[in-house]
Amino acid sequence: MSLKLGVIGSGSIIPFHLDAAKAAGFEIAIIGSRAGSEKTAALAERYGAVAGADWQAVLAADVNALLIGPETGATPGILAAALETGLPILSEKPGAYASADLKALASHRNAGRILVGYNRRHYSSTAAAKELIESAGMATFTASIPEASWTTAMLSGKKREILLSNTVHVLDLLRYLFGDLEVGSVAKLNADDVNGENGIFSRAAVVSAGGTESARVAASGTLIVTFGSPSNYFVDIHTNGRSAALRPIEFYTEFDGVSVIEPTEALPLRHYVANKAGAFEIARDDLDFKPGFVGQMRELAAMVGGADPATFKSASLADAIAVLELAEALI
C-alpha cells in the first residue's frame, strides 16, 4: 500500500518533488495552494490528485506526510499550521527569509518532524567529498556562489531575498561537509559603493569549523558571493595530501599530486597539471530525477515508518535556522 502525500504549493519546483515522491513510494493524494489557483488544478490533474480548494484543505486531508513548497514568504505561517497535524513534513528551503521566523517554530512539540529540502546533501558527489574530508580529519576550502539572476536594477529588498534563498544552498552544503561553521570576517562590497545604488553586490567571508562539539573536522575556508557573475557554483577542497573539486557541485573530481609539463615549441611555458585520482560516477537517481530529490523523499517515507530523523542526511529545522543565521551574517 502506497503512502499518501499532501502537497502545498504549485510552483515550478513542485513537479520535481512529485516525480521523486512517486519513485519513493508515495501516492500524490491532494494538492492545494492559494484559493482559485489555476496552476494547482492543472498540477493535480497531471498527477491524478485531488485539487484542494486552498492549502488548508491539504492539512485536513487523510494523508501520511506533507510536502510544503509555496513561495518563501508564505512558508513560516503554513509550517506553523502544518506542525499541528503531527505529520512528517518536507519543506522547501530555506523555509523563511529570516531565522527568527523559523526559531518561532523550534519549540513546537512536532518541530523534529520537519525536514528541509537542502537536496545537495543527497548528491552522490557530496557523499564522495564527505568521505575524503572525514578520512583526512582536516581541510581548507574555497566556495563560490555566483548569482546570475541578480541585476543592478533590482530593489535592495529583492537582492536580499535572493541572497537568503540561494546562498543558503551552499552554506548548508558546507555545514553538512564540515560541521557547524562560524563566520570570522566579511568583506562587503555594496552596489552603492560603485554606482550610487542601494543594495547587496558581493561578499567575501572567512568561515571556519572545528570549534564546536558537533564539528567533525577542523576546517577553514573562504566563501565568495558575487552577484551577476556569469560563472557556476563550486567548492574546492584541500586536505593533507589530496584535493577535490565540486565543479559544478553535481560532479566530483579528486586529485593526487601534480605533473610537470615541460615547455614545447608550440607552448614554451613550463606549467603544472593536477593528477586525477580514481573515477567518480554520478548515481542513477541524480540523473533520472532532480539530484538529491529522491533521497530526501525516501527519508520522508522512512519518517512515516518510524525512523529516527537524527539518522538522516536531510536538514532539520535546527539546520535551517543555523544556515539562515550564516546567510544573515553576510548581509
Q: How far apart are the first and last CA of the chain?
A: 48
Instruction: Give me the percent of the chain exceeding a pLDDT of 90.
Output: 73
| pLDDT tens by residue, 11-65 | 999 999 999 999 999 999 999 998 878 899 999 999 999 999 999 999 999 999 9
- 183-170-234-179 Cα dihedral, nearest 10 degrees: 60
User: Whose CA is closest to 324, among 204, 220, 175?
Assistant: 175
Going by pLDDT thresholds of 50, 70 and 90, the confidence category of residue 318 is: very high
Listed range (8-22, 194-208, 268-282) with the worst mean pLDDT: 194-208
Render the burial of 279-314: b for 16+ CB within 10 Å, e for the rest.
eeeebebbeebebbbbbbbbbbbbbbeeeebeebbb
Going by pLDDT thresholds of 50, 70 and 90, the confidence category of residue 201 is: confident
Q: How far is CA 229 from CA 1, 140, 144, 225, in A?
A: 48, 24, 10, 9
User: CA neighbours within 13 Å on the CB side: how many for 266?
Assistant: 1
- Domains by residue range for the chain, with CATH: 3-119 (3.40.50.720), 124-283 (3.30.360.10)
Any bridge partners for residue 66, and if so which?
Answer: 6, 89
Q: Report CA 198 to chain centroid distance, whole Å.
A: 28
pLDDT computed for residue 133 by the predictor: 93
Q: Is the pLDDT of residue 107 over 60?
A: yes
For residue 181, give the C-alpha cell.
561553521
CA angle 42, 43, 49 (to 5 degrees): 105
CA angle 18, 169, 235 (to 5 degrees): 125
Contact assessment for residue 91 and residue 79, using Cβ atoms and an 8 Å cutoff = yes
φ and ψ at 258, to 5 degrees?
Answer: -130, 155
CA angle 40, 9, 234 (to 5 degrees): 130
CA–CA distance, 113 with 135 (Å, rounded to integer): 31
pLDDT computed for residue 320 by the predictor: 97
